[in-house]
Amino acid sequence: QAATYVFVDGDAELVSGSVAALEACLAQNPAANAASAPPMNGRNAAHYRKLMAKEAGLFGDCYALSGNFVARLRASGIRLPDDLVGDDGLIAALAHTDLGGDADWQSERVVGCLEAGFYCLPNPITSVGLRQQAKRMTNYALRRFQNRIITAIMQSSGPHGLPRVLAETYPAWFDRLAPRLNPLWYWFDRRALARMRAAAADLPESA
C-alpha cells in the first residue's frame, strides 16, 4: 500500500524532481485520481505542454495514481486486458470516470503536472532503429484499433465488461475495422490488423 504510485516507461528519462511534483499535484487536487507528466522533447512537445495546461491528458511514459484510487481499483475486480497495447488510454478513462462508465466522466479527475516531465529516448537512424520505429508504429496502429473496441465497451457495459483478452472481441469487429488511406499509416494499420487476426485465430476454442 502506498499514498501515491508512479509509473514510468523503461525508455523515459525523468526531469529532476518529477516524482515529488506528481505527488504534490495529487495532494493539491484531492478530487484527482491521476496526475500526468508532459513530454519535454519531440516534435509536438510544446503543443502537448500547452494543451495539458488547459485539459489534462495522460501520457503512459510517466504518470501517478493516488493510493485511494489504486485501492478501489483493486477492490473493484476491474483489470486491464492481458493483451492491451499501451495502458494510458484505458487508465485515463478509468481515472476520469472514477471506475464508472463514460457517463461518469469528469475532467478534473486527471490533472496535468507541468512541474514534472520526461524525455523520450529517440530511435537512432540506423537499420536497427528503423526496425524499432516500424514496430512502434505498428503498436500505435494496434492501440488505435483496441481503443475503438474499449470505447464501445466503456459506453455499453462499462469497465466491468472488459474481457480477459481483447482478442476475444476481435472477430466481431473485423468488418468495422479498415486501414486508414493515409500513406503514413496504411501499411502499419494492415500489419496491426494481421496481428489481430492471428491473435483471434490462436484463441482456444473455449475462449
Quote the CA–CA distance of 66 and 172 in Å, as a whole number. Answer: 36
Q: Where are the alpha helices (DSSP H) in the chain?
A: 18-28, 45-54, 67-76, 88-97, 127-156, 186-201
Q: 5 φ, ψ to 5°? A: -115, 130
Q: 104 φ, ψ to 5°? A: -95, 10
Strand order in the sheet with 34-36: 4-8, 62-66, 34-36, 110-112
pLDDT digits (tens, 9 = 90+) for 14-32: 999 999 999 999 999 999 9
* pLDDT computed for residue 153 by the predictor: 93
pLDDT digits (tens, 9 = 90+) for 47-81: 666 666 566 678 788 999 999 999 999 999 999 99
